[in-house]
Amino acid sequence: MIELPQPYLIFLGDLRDKPSAKTAYGVRDWSPGACIGQWSLPECQIDLGLARMTPVRAHSEGARALLIGAAPFGGGLPENWISAILEALQAGLDIVSGLHTALSSVNEIATAAARCGRTLYDVRHSDYERSIASGRKRTGNRLLTVGTDCSVGKKYTALGITRAMQKKGRSATFRATGQTGIMISGAGIAIDAVISDFVAGAAERLSPDSPPDHWDIIEGQGSLFHPAYAGVTLGLLHGSQPDALVLCHDPSRYHMANYPNYRLPSLCEALDIYLRHGRLTNPRARFVGVSINTAALDAAEGAAALRNAEAETKLPAVDVLKNDLSPILELMDGASC
């Protein structure tokens, strides 16, 4: 499991469009206390609303790392960002990156980090996680978010439930399985970067034994219905051994994102197949709610989508960014060990 130095100075490079800054916005929204300020190249047109500062100033105010909060098209490292990264290393900051290109593979950066005694955290590279799953049932409670597709709100749902639990004084930990989640929480395993043989084992390590009243709220990945990523989803499901599951869905979508020939499953199809596989490693697995992403709908459409989902699944349906999550938390109490 990777553990990151916080707080961060968030670096935005020369980004011009918000979608490419998804990681930066996610960290700002869900972990504001971990963000000291923002820094960018002159061409940048993104403003997170944080104090603008240089690496030297951020370091003096307590920042421990420069977080590359951007996912440029293709996931590579733009040439013109390198000197900024070198400047941050020089100022005493470690570097946290979710780029496909490992910082440690860029000679100039690796050399400068060694010279400055700083650490490079390549969050997307977790192929060193190499333990085979034991299948042993662990103590404590686990909830896993699963989806009808990729990018339907599995991370936000897990974060929302964690926050709602903590507000009620309950013991709950968000367990990150993707790069943005890891940057938000400061720890986790990028599960889709683990060698396939070790995915379920990594999920077991991510959520170890815990006290009987504790819940780990695990960020799901992919979908069992996805032609490219279903294997990642299944390994994560088996290793997580969830007591409770929440199904995440975007009702404005009619086929898998980027795969127009692949239809979305119905909610009940999805409940059925997730439970069937979930019960292999935890026979007590059950669904405790449906998380509907109503961002693309108006108020009336959103309300109708929630009603339809409740009628179809007989489970509480919520938009985690808009609704009270108590109905889900109540069913979690019933699913607890």
β-sheet bridge partners, residue 173: 216
By the rule CB under 8 A, 275 interacts with its own copies? no
Q: Alpha-carbon distance 241 to 275, whole Å?
A: 11
The nearest distance, CB 28 to its own copies, in angstroms, is 26
The nearest distance, CB 66 to its own copies, in angstroms, is 26
Q: Alpha-carbon distance 11 to 69, whole Å?
A: 6
Binders of its own copies among residues 185 to 224 (CB under 8 A) are 191-197, 199-201, 224
Residues in contact with its own copies, counted by CB under 8 A, come to a total of 36
Q: Using the rule CB under 8 A, which residue among 43, 127, 209, 301 binds its own copies?
A: 127
User: Which among 17-25, 37-45, 166-174, 276-284 is the span making contact with its own copies, rule CB under 8 A?
Assistant: 276-284
Name every residue whose Cβ is closer than 8 Å to that of residue 276 and which is 6 or more positions away in sequence.
none
DSSP 219: P
Contact 242, 218 (CB under 8 A): yes
Residue 216, class by beta-carbon neighbours within 10 Å (0-12 exposed, 13-18 middle, 19+ buried)? buried
By the rule CB under 8 A, 236 interacts with its own copies? yes
By the rule CB under 8 A, 1 interacts with its own copies? no
The nearest distance, CB 144 to its own copies, in angstroms, is 14
The nearest distance, CB 272 to its own copies, in angstroms, is 10
Tokens for 175, please give them.
Answer: 């367990």
User: Which among 40-48, 160-168, 277-285, 313-321 is the span making contact with its own copies, rule CB under 8 A?
Assistant: 277-285
The nearest distance, CB 328 to its own copies, in angstroms, is 27
Q: Alpha-carbon distance 332 to 287, whole Å?
A: 9
User: Which among 52-60, 88-96, 230-238, 312-320 is the span making contact with its own copies, rule CB under 8 A?
Assistant: 230-238
By the rule CB under 8 A, 102 interacts with its own copies? no
Contact 88, 57 (CB under 8 A): no
Helices 326-335 and 154-167 cross at an angle (nearest 10°) of 80
β-sheet bridge partners, residue 174: 217
The nearest distance, CB 237 to its own copies, in angstroms, is 8
By the rule CB under 8 A, 261 interacts with its own copies? yes
Identity of the residue numbered 125: H
Q: Alpha-carbon distance 100 to 70, whole Å?
A: 11
The nearest distance, CB 110 to its own copies, in angstroms, is 19
Q: Using the rule CB under 8 A, which residue among 51, 101, 170, 259 binds its own copies?
A: 259
Half-sphere exposure of 116 (CA within 13 A, CB side): 20
Residues that bind its own copies (CB under 8 A): 127, 132-135, 191-197, 199-201, 224-225, 227-236, 238, 259, 261-262, 273, 276-277, 280-281
